[in-house]
Structure 1
Amino acid sequence: MTEPAQQSRLALTPGEPAGIGPDLVIELAADGRLPDNVVVVADPELLAQRARALGRRVSFSDHNAPPPSADGSICISPVPLQAPAHCGQLDPANAGYVLATLDTASEGCLDGRFTGMVTGPVNKAIINEAGIRFSGHTEYLAQRCHVERTVMLLTDGNLRVALATTHLPLRAVADAIDTDCLETTLRILHDDLQRHFGLAQPRILVLGLNPHAGESGHLGREEIDIIAPVVNRLAAHGWSLHGPVPADTAFTADMRQRYDAVLAMYHDQGLPVLKAGGFGHTVNVTLGLPIIRTSVDHGTALDLAGSGRADSGSLLCAIETAQAMAARARLS
C-alpha cells in the first residue's frame, strides 16, 4: 500500500455499477496501488461482489476510522445500491445511486472533509432513461457547486487540451461560441493553469472554429468576429495567447512544445488528438469549480466489466493528478 504522505483525503466515486469502475478500484486496492488517503464512495457489497468475480481479495474499513495500512484494504463511505448490479447490464434503477455517490463526494469537498474528488465513468444515457436530465459529470458538478461556467480540460501529463464547448451536437456549437462565453472560458483556463498546475504565465494556443481558421472569412466569420477580438483583448493585458489557428496544424511537435495548453472550440476537435497518443493514461480535469475534480478518460466498457481485462492506468493517473492539485492548493 502506498504511503499517505500526510495528505488529506480524496473521495473516489466508481461510477456506473455495471461497468468497469468497480473493477478498477478492486484492482488498484488488491495490487497495493490505491493510496491510503482515498475514500471510495460506493456500495461495499457491490465492491465485494466484484472482487469475488475477479478473484481478488479486498477488505473494507470505515471512512471515519484511521486509514487502512494493509494491501487490499479499501476505505469506504457507504452508499447503497438501489437495485442489484450485474456486470455489463445497465439498469436505470441505479441512476439515483450513481448521482448519490457524486452528491456525497461533492458535499464532502465543499464542507472540507475531502480535498478533492476523483470520478469513474458513468453512462449518461441510462441516467437520462431514468428520467433524470444529465449531460455529464462536468455540468452536474457545476450545478451542485452553484457555478455557472466550468471548463473541461484533459491532459496526458504533457499535452493539455481544454474545450470551449463540451457535450453539444455539432450543429449547436457555432451558436454556443460568443464573446462572453469565450472570454469566460479563457479566464477560467488561464487562472486554473496558474492555480492548479503552477504555471505563472500560461502559454495558451487558441484554435479556430472553421477549417483553416475561417480562411480570412471565406469559410466562416467566427474567427474574425469573435475569437480573434477576445484573444487580442486578453493578450493586450499581458497574457500569453496565440490564435485563432487552424486545428489541423495546431498539434505538431513544434507547436506542442511552445504552448502549455490548447483551447479547442468543440469536443471532437481537440480530444481525438490527445487520446490517440495518451488514451488510458489521460485525465479529465474540471476547471472553474471551487473543488478539485479529476476523472478517467474512458467510458464504462460494459463488455469488460468483471473480466479482469480493464486497464486501471487512467484512474491511477486521475488520483495522482488530484493529489498533486491538492498538494499545490495547500502550499498556495
Structure 2
Amino acid sequence: MEKPIIGFTTGDINGVGPELIIKTLSDNRILDICTPVIFSSNKVINYYRRIVSDHQLNFNSTKEMDKLNTKQVNVFNCWDEEVPIQPGVLTEAGGKYAVRSLEVAAQCLKDGQLDALVTGPINKANAHSANFPYSGHTPFLKDKFEAKDVLMLLYHNDLRVALVTEHVPVDKVSDHITTENLQSKLTLLRDTLVRDFGIDKPKIAVLGLNPHAGDDGMIGTEEQTVIKPLVDQWKQQGHLVFGPYSADGFFAKGNYRNFDAILAMYHDQGLIPFKTLAHGEGVNFTAGLPVVRTSPDHGTAFDIAGKNLADNGSFLEAVFQAVNLVRQREQYDEYTANPLRRRKMEKERD
C-alpha cells in the first residue's frame, strides 16, 4: 500500500496551528507513513520556524501538486502576498488566510490529489464572512462534498463521543432534537463505526437531553417523546442501541467503558467529559464525508500562540489517525467489493 498524501491546513496564522504543524512534521519518522503537504506559504512557515527553533523542519516549496517530493515535507503556497503575522491577536488577516488555506486544501482533496486532510484550528469570529458563512470546518466540508449529513466524532483509544448538535446556542439545542435528526446521526455513527473503525456490531449509548434524562417528564419531555421511542425502534431492529442515559451519572460511574460510542445531544455535554478523559490527546473526525478529515480537539489557543508552548500531542494523534482511517477504509471497501461478502454484512447489519 502506497504512502497516503496528507494535507494540512494552517489554521489561523496567529494561533498555534503553524507551531503544531512544525513540531509534528519536524519528526522525520512521519515521512515513513505519509507524504505531508502544508497549505500555507513559505513566509508563514519560516516565521514560525524561527520561533520553534528547537524543531528543525526542512521542506520542499511548490505551487503544483504534481511536483510533490515524497521524501520531504511539502509546503503548497496558497498565496504570495505579504501577510501581517501577529501571534495571539485576533485579526481579519488571520481569518482570511485560514479560510484560503482550507479552501485550497479542500479542493485538492475533492480532486483526489490528497488522501486525507488534517485541519489546523480556526477562530469562528474572524473566519466567518459573507464568503465563508460557516460556524466551522464541519459545515463547510459538508457543503463542499455535498454530504447529506455529517457527524462530529471525537475519540481517544476506545472512547468515542459523537454530537447531535455542534456549535448551536444552548437555548436552541432542543429545536434540533427531532426524530429525523437523531435518526440521521445514529445512522452515521453506526456506519462509521463499521467502516472506519472495523466494529461489525457496534454498541451505542444515547444520552438524554435534560438533567436526569428528564426524570420521567418532570424535567423536560424530549426523552419521552423523541429519544426513547427512537432508541426502542433501533433495538427492535436488532441494533445494540441503549438509553437515554443521564449524562452525569453515565460518565461518573464509568458506564462509557461498556460502549463502542456515545451519542451526546449537545457540544458541552459530550466534550467536557471527553476532554477530561482524553488528556489532550483526542482527535476530531468528521463522519459522513466521502473523504477523511481529522483535527486536534482544541482551538487556536491565542493565549500561548507564538511562545513555543503548544503541546502537539492531539495534533500528532490526528495525523496518525488520518493515516489509519485512510487504510481502514481501503481495506473495508476492498473487502465489501466482493458481492457475497457485502450481502453477508448487510444481512448481519439488518
* Fold agreement, TM-score > 0.5: yes
Aligned counterpart, 2:343: none
Q: Is the 8 A contact 2:35 2:73 kept in 1?
A: no
Compare 139-148 and 178-187 and name the one that shifted more. 139-148
Aligned counterpart, 2:222: 222
CA distance in 2, matches of 1:140, 1:240: 32
Q: Is the 8 A contact 1:48 1:58 kept in 2?
A: no
Question: Any idea what the Cα deviations from partners look like across 1:213-247, whole Å, max 9, x if unmatched?
Answer: 11111111101110011111122221110011111
Q: Is the 8 A contact 2:68 2:74 kept in 1?
A: no
Compare 229-238 and 130-139 and name the one that shifted more. 130-139
Secondary structure of the corresponding residue to residue 305 of structure 1: coil
RMSD of aligned alpha carbons: 1.9
Alignment of 1:46-195 (within 5 A): 46-55=44-53, 56-61=55-60, 62=62, 63-65=65-67, 67-69=69-71, 73-80=72-79, 83-128=83-128, 132-195=132-195
Aligned counterpart, 2:319: 319
Alignment of 1:203-218 (within 5 A): 203-218=203-218
Q: Tell me which amino acid in the other structure corresponds to 2:165.
A: T
Secondary structure of the corresponding residue to residue 204 of structure 1: strand
Unaligned runs of 5+ in 1: none
* Aligned: 1:284 with 2:280: no
* Aligned pair partner of 1:42 in 36, 40, 43: 40
CA distance in 2, matches of 1:129, 1:137: 14
CA distance in 2, matches of 1:171, 1:280: 29
TM-score of the superposition, structure 2-length normalised?
A: 0.88
Secondary structure of the corresponding residue to residue 205 of structure 1: strand
Q: 1:11 to 1:139 in 2, by over 3 A?
A: same
Q: Tell me which amino acid in the other structure corresponds to 2:292.
A: I
CA distance in 1, matches of 2:147, 2:320: 25
Aligned counterpart, 2:241: 241
Question: Any idea what the Cα deviations from partners look like across 1:83-106, whole Å, max 9, x if unmatched?
Answer: 322211222134332122212222
Secondary structure of the corresponding residue to residue 162 of structure 2: strand
Structure 1 consecutive aligned stretches of length 4 or more whose deviation exceeds 4 Å: 129-132
CA distance in 2, matches of 1:192, 1:42: 30
Q: 1:112 to 1:128 in 2, by over 3 A?
A: closer
CA distance in 2, matches of 1:262, 1:153: 9
CA distance in 1, matches of 2:304, 2:293: 25
* Aligned: 1:200 with 2:196: no
CA distance in 2, matches of 1:164, 1:34: 34
Q: Is the 8 A contact 2:26 2:58 kept in 1?
A: no
CA distance in 1, matches of 2:169, 2:116: 30
CA distance in 2, matches of 1:84, 1:59: 23
Compare 254-263 and 199-208 and name the one that shifted more. 254-263
Shift of 1:195: 0.9
Secondary structure of the corresponding residue to residue 250 of structure 1: helix
Q: Is the 8 A contact 1:138 1:286 kept in 2?
A: yes
Shift of 1:64: 3.2
Alignment of 1:6-45 (within 5 A): 6-35=2-31, 36-45=34-43
Question: Any idea what the Cα deviations from partners look like across 1:164-189, whole Å, max 9, x if unmatched?
Answer: 11101100001111110010110011
Q: Is the 8 A contact 2:154 2:284 kept in 1?
A: yes
CA distance in 2, matches of 1:266, 1:68: 41
CA distance in 1, matches of 2:80, 2:146: 27
Alignment of 1:226-305 (within 5 A): 226-252=226-252, 254-305=254-305
Question: Any idea what the Cα deviations from partners look like across 1:1-60, whole Å, max 9, x if unmatched?
Answer: xxxx73221111120100111011111233335444221111121001110122243322
Number of paired residues? 325
Q: Tell me which amino acid in the other structure corresponds to 1:59.
A: N
Shift of 1:109: 2.0
CA distance in 2, matches of 1:245, 1:271: 16
Compare 190-199 and 47-56 and name the one that shifted more. 47-56
Compare 208-217 and 49-58 and name the one that shifted more. 49-58
Q: Is the 8 A contact 2:159 2:260 kept in 1?
A: yes
Seq. identity, %: 36
